[in-house]
Amino acid sequence: MKKRYLASALVLFAVGSLFVGVSSISPMDLLDLSEEQFHVLWNSRLPRLMSILLAGAGMSVCGLIMQQLSRNKFVSPTTAGTMDSARLGVLVSLMLFTSASPLVKMSIAFLFALLGTFIFMKILDRIKFKDVIFVPLVGLMFGNIISSITTFFAYERDLIQNMSAWMQGDFSLIVTGRYELMFLSIPFMIAAYIFANKFTIAGMGEDFAVSLGLKYRTVVNTGLILVAFVASSVLLTVGMIPFLGLIIPNIVSIYQGDNLKKNLPHTAMLGALFVLVCDILGRVIIYPYELPINLTVGVLGSGIFAWLLIRRRSREA
Amino acid sequence: MVSASNVVKFFGKKKVVQDVSIQVEKGKITSLIGPNGAGKSTLLSIVSRLITSDEGEVRIDELDVAKCRGSELAKKVSILKQANHMTLKLTVRELVSFGRFPYSQGKLTAEDERYVDEAIDYMQLTDLQHTYLDELSGGQKQRAFLAMVIAQDTEYILLDEPLNNLDMKHAVQMMKVLRRLVDELGKTVVIVIHDINFASCYSDNIIAMKNGRVIREGTVNDIIKPSVLKEIYDMDINIEDVNENKICVYYA
């Protein structure tokens, strides 16, 4: 797959998505937009598109970095407790400051996500038995423990309703003023690209990294900070999107290997494209109603994920 | 010159390296031999700063390994441990290019590319340079890793059991390459090796360890003697001269 095919598909679907929705706007109307059409386009469709692109790219890049640093193809923000920890952070911020601003919520979510991911990596260091499937299982268990703590306190404080909003990924509520936090993740993704070579070397293992003069721990920690930040910005604006950080980097790795500098642009674009296509599908299948993004990504994603697992097993056999 | 003085390392409460002092001569192949659990690999890892010693110091050309910046040391000394578990899907050329990381930080200059080309050529991997590592055989993979070390262009090259998982032909090839690195390029090579006959035929100096201590060091002729080997391995080993090489016979 060539980068320019990916880019043109992305542009095509991105532009197309602007004209899919309940209030009809066609490309022809662009020349003479009514005030209402302009409002819909500017305050709803465009923000939605931006958040889809950023969330898709962001979660995929997070997954890629985590897989590289943990040296396991099945580790991602949703299988290593990152997202669950971030959600616990949101709960804590709601409990401490009843009307926390999005930025405060995000900062606390970020700190929790970072801590959670860090603990997961520490657990990884301790496990002797590093089976490809065992490691993400530990991550899932770890995430579930954190999630149950969140649920417990949310029940106690009557915040269940509030919290479930962050459970489910949802683009339909995105309008101007509710997603701008996501732009903060852009510099972090650029930073990921700058660090790409170091992440690749870290992925070779600590011995290689040290022999090549890399400060291994510093690089791993930098990666975790990038991941925690991008993941919490997505969680707070869009919510959890399952599978994304898992399947996109794996698909890219299959067709062009694990050299991060080469992979990052592909991963970001393919991730954005995948979410965009899922979102458009969700919008048209039961038109004029919408399927939640979790459903479309979940169905398509679990199918692809199952295929990846089978493919891997049959190659090992 | 590499010199370690009074190096001590504990794993938990067990002292795996006990007060070891060695000196490695420049421009030679030095083999570290000894029974399992003698502390050879641990010592090599300490010398190459992969692990830190609990006591003592290691100096490489007057640089204190514990205090020197990692990026500086990476231009002086490289280490290759058993690398079979590296799962990253990289092409041979990508891998070798990462050997230039200490110099280029990832942005390869024309000079870096030249080093990469030479290293690939030196290990006869030109035809395979765009192949992914997971498609290579064990011997080819090992050559690719060594090419990466060659591209790193360090004066000192440390290898932990480089013959592991290699068949006879590839093991001989590997040792010949190491010999050429020393004779043609003037490198200093230190290897941990189990096959006593490879150590005998290809190295200049031998350091023998046992129970965390250095018990003998010297040239091949000093060490490959029945009396000395008995002391190291607790077994009777006959030595035959074959084509000017000393071959240890210990199979029966």
- A266-288 pLDDT, tens digit per residue, is 999 999 999 999 999 998 998 88
Range B210-223 average pLDDT: 94
Q: Would you say how long chain A is, in residues?
A: 317
Q: What residues pair up with B8 in beta bridges, in sequence order?
A: B55
Task: Read off the pLDDT of each residue in A33-48 and give the average, rounded to a whole number.
Answer: 88
CA distance B9 to chain A (A): 18
Name the minimum distance, in Å, from the CA of A246 to any CA of chain B.
16
Q: What is the mean pLDDT of chain B?
A: 92
Most confident listed range (A26-35, A71-80, B196-205):
B196-205
Amino acid at A7: A
Q: Which domains does chain B have, with CATH numbers?
A: 2-249 (3.40.50.300)
* pLDDT number for residue B150: 95
Q: Does A207 touch chain B (CB under 8 A)?
A: yes
The predicted-structure confidence for B141-196, as pLDDT tens digits, reads as follows: 999 999 999 999 999 999 999 998 888 999 999 999 999 999 999 999 999 999 99
Determine the average pLDDT of the residues in A32-43.
Answer: 86
Q: Which residue has the higher pLDDT, A247 or A28?
A: A247
Distance between CA atoms of A208 and A223, rounded to whole angstroms?
17
Q: What is the mean pLDDT of residues A256-271?
A: 94
Q: Contacts of residue A205 in chain B, CB cutoff 8 Å?
A: 85-86
> Which of the two residues, B95 and A294, has the higher pLDDT score?
B95
Q: Output the pLDDT for position B84.
A: 59
The answer to whether A6 and A269 have CB atoms below 8 angstroms apart is: yes
pLDDT-above-70 percentage for chain A: 97
Cβ atoms of B22 and B31 within 8 Å: the answer is no
Task: Examine the pLDDT at A189 and tell me if it is beyond 80.
Answer: yes
Does A253 contact B85 at a Cβ distance shorter than 8 Å? no
Determine the straight-line distance between the first and last CA of chain A, rounded to whole angstroms. 28
Closest approach of chain A CAs to the CA of B204, in angstroms?
25
Q: What is the pLDDT of residue A33?
A: 81
SS3 (DSSP) at A294: helix
Q: At what angle do helices A185-194 and A216-237 cross, to 10 degrees?
A: 150
Let me know: does B17 contact B7? Beta carbons within 8 Å.
yes
* In the predicted structure, residue A235 carries a pLDDT above the cut 60: yes
For residue A103, the tally of other CB atoms under 10 A from its CB is 11
Tokens of B116: 């990469």
Of B50, B89, B98, the CB nearest to A257: B89
Closest partner residue to A212 (CB to CB) among B86, B87, B102 is B102
Question: What count of other Cβ atoms lies within 10 Å of the Cβ of residue B189?
Answer: 23
Closest Cβ opposite residue B90 in set A196, A210, A257? A257
Residue A233 has pLDDT above 80, yes or no: yes
* CB-CB under 8 Å, B48 with A213: no
Task: Give the residue-averaged pLDDT of B201-220.
Answer: 95
- The ranges assigned to domains in chain A are 2-6+37-316
Chain A and chain B share a number of CB contacts under 8 A equal to 69
pLDDT(A118) > 90: yes
pLDDT tens-place string over residues B21-45: 999 999 999 999 999 989 999 999 9
Q: What is the CATH number of domain A2-6+37-316?
A: 1.10.3470.10
Q: Which of residues A272 and A166 earns the better pLDDT score?
A: A272
Q: Residue B155's pLDDT is what?
A: 95
If one compares B113 and A167, the residue with the highest pLDDT of the two is: B113
pLDDT, tens digit, 9 for 90 and up, residues A142-155: 999 999 999 999 99
Does residue A96 surpass a pLDDT of 90? no
What pLDDT, on a 0 to 100 scale, did the predictor assign at position B208?
A: 95
Average pLDDT value for residue range B222-237: 92
The predicted complex's ipTM stands at 0.89
Rounded to the nearest integer, the mean pLDDT of chain A is: 89
